[in-house]
A and B are shown apart, each in its own frame.
Chain A
Amino acid sequence: MKIIAVFLTVSMTMMLMLPLTANASSPEENFLDKLEYDSLLYFAGEANPANGLIKDSSRPGAPCSVAAVGFGLSALCIGDSRGWIEKGQAYERVLIILKTFRDKIPAEHGFFYHFLDMRTGRRTWNSELSSIDTALFLAGALFAGEYYKGTEVESIAKEIYDRVDWPWMMNGRKVICMGWLPEQGFLPYYWDSYSEAMILYALAIGSATHPIPPGSWFEWSRPTDAYDDYKVIYSYTGSLFTYQYSHAWIDFRNLNENGTDTNYYSNSVNAVKANREFCIDNSSRCKTYGENSWGLTACIGPAGYKGYGAKPGGGLNDGTIAPTGMAGSIVFDWQDALAGLKYLYDTHKKFLYGKYGFKDAFNLDKGWWAEEYLGIDVGITVMMLENYKTGLVWNKFMALEPVKKWMELCFW
């Protein structure tokens, strides 16, 4: 079994390292394909072939992140659809991952711990049972199930999803708790305001086995503010990833919220534009910022991982920019995102671009360049570039029964 797993990894990696054939017509398309392809390599290179677990970061000794696995599942299917990974190999890897999560990874009420040991799959670093990371994993699993419809992948994905006891994670409240620790019980933090947790609520409401009340969708707050005429339902941090993650799987373009008529796709468009304007407005203070270098989002910075963001929101910033901010925004503002990504590649390729595409972040004021890649940042890059190009993830995900159920209950 181990030999087969190693063989799959080696041949998958070799397959991925072959140069792309130039089917794309324009230089911009070629560039985006290259970026997407290189980013996808992360999920082959930073995975354990025996159990499919994917590292949180490319840093040696990093644990597995369950959210990174969710992005990885999606990326593998994307690689399959593009012909970058041989069909059988991608399927086998996805199957290994799902079987690992079904049979070996510890779970409580169907929820998984945030970080796992890469070798054993056991909970590590005292991490919490995480609702959002479980949801991101499940989104990837369900998408993979829909992509490989009619196969064992689909049935296992559904099995893992169906066993999640979503109401339990509400801890008797009207909103979902962020997590639970075996040592102390539920965390004192809840998904009670606009954030990346829309995907979590969608899956929880759409569950056929353990759904939460549809009214929960309307229980989290929607604080509104504006920056530079861009009105935004904003997240606490103002980080771009909060406007991106749910959209990696859910196509909000034609969804208008019951009662409020809010269109969250439009909201993300405004948030992206506000973020860019914020960077431009602060470019005299921070050398990194500019009209082609923007995208304040949570990432590694000179002082560690931070929830960077723009206004409206927390607006924490120190001159650090993560290319994933722009890459993940390509479906919302493709012109500015594409221009920015091209600019970063052309100008800073030497220090900022590596084997898995763009490294996590950089800061010109402090002369700092990240050496590592984060699985979730690389993952959102792959998914949004694919949605921009083909809409593959959106098309498949929106066809799922739980998603349709949620849409019917919360949107018109």
Chain B
Amino acid sequence: MAGSGAYKRKNYLINKKFQLKYTASIVGMLLVVMLVSGFGLYMGMWGSIIENFSKFKVSQNLENAKRITDYEAARYQKGDYRLEKIFREAELLSAQDKETLKGALHSVNRSLIPKVIALAILIFLAGIFLSHKIAGPMYRIERSAAAIRDGDLRVNFRIRKGDEMRSAAGALEEMIESLHENIKRMKAESIALEEKINLLTERGAIPDEDSRRLKEMLRSIDSVLSKYKT
């Protein structure tokens, strides 16, 4: 059995310019998404932290924690045990800080999610736009190849300015022209050959039986050549 690595591609940059161009587009779009999300997250969180943990807010929170422990002591008839109250105040502050951070994350997420969705839509549209420059020519090449397979040599591989695969299309166009010329020449040669066979048969240079066989072979060649529209 042929070595399993016989058909393994070793060189991944087959069309360096084309591949690097599209890789750069994808990487560029991802970088934009990351930058916007990261910036939004950072500024949102940091802005909220600065606002909620400013000296004024911290002082307000301390007052609130103390007031609430006082309310609890008055309502539940707890003794005025200072240590217990300090622990309770610390517990309230810790819970409140967690709520504050949770709230900050929540509001950052709420502002980020629409932006990320919008970016995703833009990337999707950019992807459609970029890929159609490849898909268009590929579709055209497929259609033209099918026509050639069916014998129509009148097709062309011309693609639009700005589309990709121009060099491949160019090579295919040259191939068609060459094929076109060769088929035309073969058709002409076939006609000339038949005339020659007729002349030689009239002169008796070729036996009738051989002449008949040669003409059958020519007709067989003609039937193949006639499938190609030129």
Contacts and interface: CB of A to CB of B under 8 A. Distances in A.
Given A125-B95, A126-B95, A306-B70, A178 B65 contact: no
A298 B74 contact: yes
Contact of A124 (B63, B73, B99): B99
B158 to A, nearest CB: 61
Interface in B91-149: 91-92, 95-96, 99, 103
Nearest to A374: B67
A107 B182 CA distance: 88
B229 to A, nearest CB: 73
A63 B73 CA distance: 18
Contacts of A236: 77
Contacts of A305: 67, 70-71, 74
B64 interface: yes
Contacts of A306: 70, 74
B60 interface: yes
Contact of A237 (B77, B92, B96, B103): B77
Contacts of B73: 307
Given A127-B68, A178-B75, A305-B71, A60 B60 contact: yes
B64 A125 contact: yes
Contacts of B96: 124-126
9 closest A-B pairs by beta carbon, nearest first, are A61-B60, A307-B74, A305-B70, A126-B95, A304-B70, A189-B76, A125-B68, A298-B74, A126-B92
Nearest to A306: B74
Nearest to B67: A305
B66 interface: yes
13 contacts: A59-B60, A62-B67, A115-B68, A124-B96, A124-B99, A125-B65, A125-B92, A189-B75, A236-B77, A298-B74, A305-B71, A306-B70, A306-B74
A396 B77 CA distance: 34
A57 interface: yes
Contacts of B103: 120
Nearest to B99: A124
Contacts of A115: 68
Contacts of B190: none
A78 B103 CA distance: 37
A57 to B, nearest CB: 7
B61 interface: yes
A59 B61 CA distance: 11
A305 B72 CA distance: 10
B76 A304 contact: no
B57 interface: yes
B112 to A, nearest CB: 19
Given A56-B67, A120-B103, 12 more contacts: A59-B63, A60-B60, A61-B57, A61-B61, A62-B64, A124-B96, A125-B68, A125-B96, A126-B92, A189-B75, A305-B67, A305-B70
A237 B76 contact: no
A346 B40 CA distance: 58
A112 to B, nearest CB: 16
A63 B70 CA distance: 15
B72 to A, nearest CB: 9
A241 to B, nearest CB: 10
Contacts of A120: 103
Interface in B25-73: 57, 60-61, 63-68, 70-71, 73
Interface in A296-324: 298, 304-307
Contacts of B68: 115, 125, 127
A307 B63 CA distance: 18
A62 B66 CA distance: 12
